[in-house]
Chain A
Amino acid sequence: MSQDKDRALKQAADLEEHPDAPSTTVSRRRFLQGLGFAAGVTAAGVIPALITAAPSAGNESEAAESGSGAPGGEENPLAEIIENDKPVNYPGKPVKYADPAGDQKWAMVIDVKACVGCRKCAYACVKENNIGRTSGFTYIQLLEMEPGEINLETANANYTEGGRADKWYLPVQCMHCAKPTCVYGCPVKATWREPDGIVVIDYDKCIACRNCMITCPYYARHFNWVEPEVPKNEINPKVPLEEKAAVVEKCTFCIQRTRHGQTTACTEACPVGARTFGDLNDPNSDVSIILKTRRAFRLKEELGSEPVIWYVG
């Protein structure tokens, strides 16, 4: 991976004032240390568990409270999208590290007019999802675009400073496609799409063939070429860590948060409110309202993989 990415990751670590980046030497089979981690996880798990247990005041609950007076009338213009939003290769039970799906259909809208390319979403995501600090990737990538075009080939993912007035910024991550080419391409069904639309990976089943990375048009999947290393006091106990060694991982729409009424870490971290996350089944959710009232587009829509992340500008 590029050095700029590494730098970005380091910035993420610096942001939270953790001066010592973990050493770059990697030993793969550290069972004893693994046991240590597990103990740490159990201990550290108590506090975040209390936080998540408390009722959250996120976008969803607000939207839900605003009642049933839906502005849309009887015909839901999003009906077709919801209709196509189905599980794919779902084995009938939720992925190991998450609770069962509710009856939502998750979706996200990103306002590219608001986005300033600060990468706060990417940094928050790294922390929330136990992404190895030396692994050289982030789930979210920010593309700096030239004015007047959506041209990936001339975009720059390795810019050092965002916020330039003469550019615009396009955040890209796993699109949780309704027709996920990655899921179709996995030879062993180690990845699938759950009923609420979240594309997940079973880390214990992945054979490390990396074919899903080949089939994904959004470069959203990443392989752990090194063992993922996270400083002990920063480990999120709700997210697998050691299981991710030598397998592929990617954005899960913060499955550990969103299935408990919270919003995603990136949505929460965005300083300009460019991200909106919510439920398409709820006609009053923010995402439903935005999609019904504003002109939205999807990245590489011509490929027909039907992503559930939309962009508005």
Chain B
Amino acid sequence: MTETTAHKPGVKRFIGIDWDLGALRSASPRFWLWVAFLGTFVVVGVAAWGAFITQGGVVMAQRDGSPWGLWFTNYMYYVGLAAGGLVVYASVHLFGAEQYRPLSRIAVLQAGVFTMLALLGVVSDFEQPIRLLNMVISPNPTAPFVYTGTAAGLYMVLCFVDLWIMLTGTGGEKLAFTMTLIALPAAIYLHTTTAFVLALNKSRELWHSAVMVPIFLTSATASGIAVLFIFAYIFMRVTNVRFKPSMFRSLATLLATVIIIDLFLLSVEVLWTFWPTSAIPGETSRLIEFVAGRYAPFFLPIFVLGFTAFGLLANRKLRHLPAIQITASILYIIAIFLKRYSLMAMGFSLTPLGQPTKIYFPSLVETGIALGILAFGILFVTICVKIMPLEVPKEELEAHHGHGHASLDEAEVAA
């Protein structure tokens, strides 16, 4: 970091990062109100988890028919949001997309935090959390769960190490580039293995599809970029950092592209399940639940929200407007959550013996745990934004001026 920041009052240097603790001292009451609000949810989550551990799985809505529930929905969802942020960051180094460089730090922070939330969800759902050590003592190489679990753990560490490297400037541009070379395949690996947890099951008809892997990657990238959009706008609001409108415009084009690929893949899946020459009773009788049955209120909105978001972003006249970008992002973030939920339920709408199960809707305890975890994540990011130097320094941006195709004038004017 530059010398000037290091000498600001209240700034403490620890593990090579300048932590702006003074910002906490001078924080507004509104900030603390927000922190207290999130803290309440964290407490609720801990209490809900306590209820689960003392009273057992009966307090969950999960049953043999739906052995996995909200936690797994969130696992897929958060892992996706993590990977999406990373794709943006990685494209800076790998594809020379210099226009995204100002986002690199918050993108990596987003990736690390969401992976952490995904893991917390897993740990909070298992009734034998201590026995998770067995995963280390006797891992089973044929279980996809082992790969996604370890991938998530390593990936989380990787993200935070990467963030540290960026914040401290250790190793310079060369190490940053090397880290991208590790991080991007790691993100894809994490995502692929998560998709494999579903796709590698011949026992669950609608999950057992090779398209599951690419569709996971597109959903992840789309929802991740959408969250990054919102994060960037909030970041601008609460800090003095200003991003270029051209960066947002470019991001909007990328988002629209990924959304339409994502929707395309999903449509292909639906088509092939119902087409008379490919329809298999086990698959159609399950998917019919989502198209015209009990799960339709969760599944059909994906298309409505998705195509609306795409329509908003595809329009050249609207694409550059922040309000449109934010609306489209929110629509698609909701759409992907519904998609993860439907995806989870697709394995369970009928049992492997073809018997209809009770519709799964999370219990109060499950919801409490999930909200607690989410609140913890937002709280974590809130504090980080306050005290961490997440703004990419001007020198770094200028150093790469030559590589970027966008002019810096705009950024300088904004700043």
Contacts and interface: CB of A to CB of B under 8 A. Distances in A.
Interface of A: 1-2, 26-29, 89, 136-137, 141, 143, 151-158, 172, 181, 184-190, 205-211, 213-219, 222-227, 245-247, 303
Interface in B58-76: 58, 60, 62-65, 67-68
Contacts of B271: none
Interface in B339-398: 347, 350-355, 358
Contacts of A189: 134, 138-140
Contacts of B410: none
B199 to A, nearest CB: 12
Interface stretch (B49-57, B113-121, B237-245, B308-316): B49-57
Contacts of A227: 56
B278 interface: no
A209 B62 CA distance: 12
A1 B65 contact: yes
B63 A225 contact: yes
- Chain B CB within 10 Å, residue with most, of A185, A186, A223: A185
Contact of A185 (B64, B135, B145, B282): B145
B354 A152 contact: yes
A213 B143 CA distance: 13
B143 A186 contact: yes
B203 interface: yes
Nearest to B144: A185
Contacts of B68: 210, 214
Interface residues of B, number: 45
A207 B134 contact: yes
B414 interface: no
Interface in B170-205: 197, 201-204
B285 interface: yes
The interface centre, meaning the residue of A154, A189, A224 with most chain B CB atoms within 10 A of its CB, is A189
Q: Top 7 nearest A-B pairs by Cβ distance?
A: A152-B354, A217-B203, A188-B134, A210-B67, A153-B354, A246-B127, A184-B142
B140 A214 contact: no
Interface string B138-157: 11101111100100000000
Given A152-B353, A153-B350, A225 B57 contact: yes
Contact of B145 (A89, A208, A209, A213): A209
A190 B144 CA distance: 15
A207 B131 contact: yes
Contact of B204 (A89, A151, A158, A214): A214
A153 B281 contact: yes
A63 to B, nearest CB: 32
A111 to B, nearest CB: 20
Contacts of B137: 188
B192 to A, nearest CB: 17
B233 interface: no
- Chain B interface secondary structure, helix, strand, loop or mixed? loop
A188 B203 contact: no
A227 B58 CA distance: 9
Given A1-B63, A141-B353, A158-B355, A211 B143 contact: yes
Contacts of B126: 207-209
A215 B199 CA distance: 11
B149 A208 contact: no
A1 B66 CA distance: 9
A187 B55 contact: no
Contacts of A187: 135, 139-140, 143, 145-146, 149
A219 B353 contact: yes
B4 interface: no
A29 B281 contact: no
A215 B58 CA distance: 22
Given A187-B146, A205-B134, A28 B56 contact: yes
20 contacts: A2-B358, A152-B353, A157-B353, A184-B142, A186-B140, A188-B134, A188-B138, A205-B134, A207-B128, A208-B127, A215-B201, A215-B203, A218-B353, A219-B351, A219-B355, A225-B57, A226-B57, A226-B58, A247-B128, A303-B203
Nearest to B136: A188
Given A152-B353, A225-B57, A188 B149 contact: no
Given A152-B355, A225-B64, 10 more contacts: A26-B55, A152-B282, A187-B143, A189-B138, A189-B140, A206-B128, A206-B131, A215-B201, A224-B57, A225-B57
Contacts of B144: 185
A89 B143 CA distance: 12
Nearest to B203: A217
Most chain B beta-carbon contacts within 10 A, residue among A143, A158, A225: A225
A181 B64 contact: no
Given A1-B65, A207-B131, A303-B202, A214 B347 contact: yes
Contacts of B128: 206-208, 246-247
A219 to B, nearest CB: 5
Nearest to A248: B67
Interface in B93-134: 126-128, 131-132, 134
B54 A223 contact: no
B359 to A, nearest CB: 12
B145 A211 contact: yes
Contacts of B138: 188-189, 205
Contacts of B55: 26-28
A219 B140 contact: no
